[in-house]
Structure 1
Amino acid sequence: METRVPTREEMLAALEKRQGADAVRKLQAATVAVCGLGGLGSNIAISLARAGVGKLILVDFDCVDVTNLHRQQYKACQVGLPKPEALLANLKEIAPYTEYETHFEKVTAENVATLLANADVVCEAFDNAEAKAMLVNAVLETMPQKFLVAASGMAGFEGGNTIRTRKIMDKFYLCGDGVSDVADGIGLVAPRVMLCAAHQALTAIRLILGLE
């Protein structure tokens, strides 16, 4: 069977049929930054791209490892590639008309303002507590106009209903069970990580649409 890539107009028409023209218009005009492209971030980015977010800023300083493959949106043939590069290739296959900006670098207190300057919503998707705290503090203290969607707790094999979204402050939302920690030796499993990522992506979409 012959295959082809749909045109931009065809893909937008399909999105409008499923999501409504007004929602698609708002999503197309939005920019979301995803900081950390592991189990959370790679899944967040794919969900946002599929939903029609106009621009994604993708930031990570890590490379794809074989231990990532059980829960992150990478392929076995991409082991060793920088995560921004590998995820960009996968996203272009899914949503070729989305605008992407990639940064193969670590988010720090010195560069965070520059990296996130154009984002309407920031999704925190780090696996390091210090990095999480740095990003949350930086956004809340120096970029109060931006929405921040962070995560805490998605480890283990507990039921999916323990993962939820909470509004912490006016523009700060936290997704996860708030309790489980991979440091306790309970590990990570793809469905729970993806559930938390889905909460973050959906929260970002709802914020863009003015539903929160």
Structure 2
Amino acid sequence: MTVATSTIAVVGAGPGLGAAIARRFGTAGYSVALISRSSAKLDPIAAALREKGITAEVFPADVTDDVALTSALMAAAERLGRIAVLSYSPNATWDHTSGQLPDLAALGYTSAQDTTAQSARSQFEIGVAGALTAAQAVLPAMRAAQDGALLFTTGMSAIVPMAMLGNAGIALAGLRNWATAVRADLGKDGVYVGHVSIGVPIVPGAGDGDPDLIADRWYRLAQSRDTFETTIGF
């Protein structure tokens, strides 16, 4: 495969949906920049992509560290080519195959009644501040090219209040609010903004929750650019 001139940066990449999004765009000719805190988690994903002939590199960064995240995105653009697509979905993930509800507290979630300023702030840093930092890093080049796409993936609580995800809902709803508000202005600059909210477990082969199906839906939305928001499973 010829090395692509456009890059997709997958922020919050993991072995499930992040890897599927990277694979879908990579097979369409994009170079792939994988970003999350752990290079140990990212390296096997990058290796699997390369086996398919996809140009992929790893850029470890914590989304709550503005400097590190910006530096990772700048390095990705310098090494792989202009970031034409930003996929942002650094939400905590878990193994759904057991069919058991995960330990939400261990993942940093608090119920609505137990949500404090501190717990809400922690989710805001991941779900909103990180997204704004990433967007700020890639938007100048997108505007200059009059072409780009910001893809934000959230959970159901971005739209439907859920008592068990009190602090996460605040953050995800805030990200959705900003994306909704900014999309018209960015659209004038040739930048598409999209939001997909997922209300089902992300499990390979599990109908609407299959990560490859979700990734393909994202790819088609990024190409057609005719729909801002899509919900899955609710």
Quickly name the TM-score band, shorter chain normalised.
0.5 to 0.7
C-alpha displacement of 1:141: 4.6
Cα 1:139–1:52, aligned 2, differ >3 Å: closer, same or farther?
same
1:41-72 residue CA offsets vs partner (Å, 9 max, x unmatched): 1110111121121x211112247xxxxxxxxx
C-alpha displacement of 1:142: 5.4
Correspondence for 1:127: 91
Cα 1:92–1:99, aligned 2, differ >3 Å: closer, same or farther?
closer
Structure 2, unpaired ranges of 5+: 78-82, 93-122, 143-148, 158-175, 229-234
Is residue 32 from structure 1 mapped to residue 27 from structure 2 by the alignment? Answer: no
| Count, aligned residues | 148
Is residue 115 from structure 1 mapped to residue 62 from structure 2 by the alignment? Answer: no
Correspondence for 2:218: 200
Is residue 189 from structure 1 mapped to residue 198 from structure 2 by the alignment? Answer: no
The match for 1:152 among 150, 154, 157 is: 154
C-alpha displacement of 1:93: 1.1
Mapping of 1:83-102 within 5 angstroms?
83-95=41-53, 98-102=54-58
Percent sequence identity is: 20
Which amino acid in the other structure matches residue 43 of structure 2?
E
Question: Are the counterparts in 2 of residues 154 and 196 from structure 1 also a CA contact under 8 Å?
Answer: no
C-alpha displacement of 1:206: 5.0
C-alpha displacement of 1:85: 0.7
Which amino acid in the other structure matches residue 42 of structure 1?
A
SS at match of 1:127: coil
Correspondence for 1:159: none
Write the distance in 2 (CA, Å) between the matches of 1:152 and 1:116: 21
C-alpha displacement of 1:125: 2.1
Correspondence for 2:25: 48
Write the distance in 1 (CA, Å) between the matches of 2:6 and 2:134: 18
Structure 1, unpaired ranges of 5+: 1-7, 13-26, 64-81, 156-165, 181-185
Write the distance in 2 (CA, Å) between the matches of 1:44 and 1:57: 11
Write the distance in 1 (CA, Å) between the matches of 2:136 and 2:61: 22
SS at match of 1:110: helix
Write the distance in 2 (CA, Å) between the matches of 1:109 and 1:37: 17
Question: Are the counterparts in 1 of residues 11 and 86 from structure 2 also a CA contact under 8 Å?
Answer: yes
Cα 1:172–1:52, aligned 2, differ >3 Å: closer, same or farther?
same
Is residue 61 from structure 1 mapped to residue 28 from structure 2 by the alignment? Answer: no
1:64-94 residue CA offsets vs partner (Å, 9 max, x unmatched): xxxxxxxxxxxxxxxxxx1211011111111
C-alpha displacement of 1:136: 2.1
C-alpha displacement of 1:201: 3.2
Question: Are the counterparts in 1 of residues 60 and 72 from structure 2 also a CA contact under 8 Å?
Answer: no
Considering only aligned residues, what root-mean-square deviation do their CA atoms show, in Å?
Answer: 3.4
Question: Are the counterparts in 2 of residues 154 and 188 from structure 1 also a CA contact under 8 Å?
Answer: no
Q: Could you tell me the TM-score, scaled by structure 1's length?
A: 0.57
Is residue 174 from structure 1 mapped to residue 150 from structure 2 by the alignment? Answer: no
Write the distance in 2 (CA, Å) between the matches of 1:189 and 1:89: 21
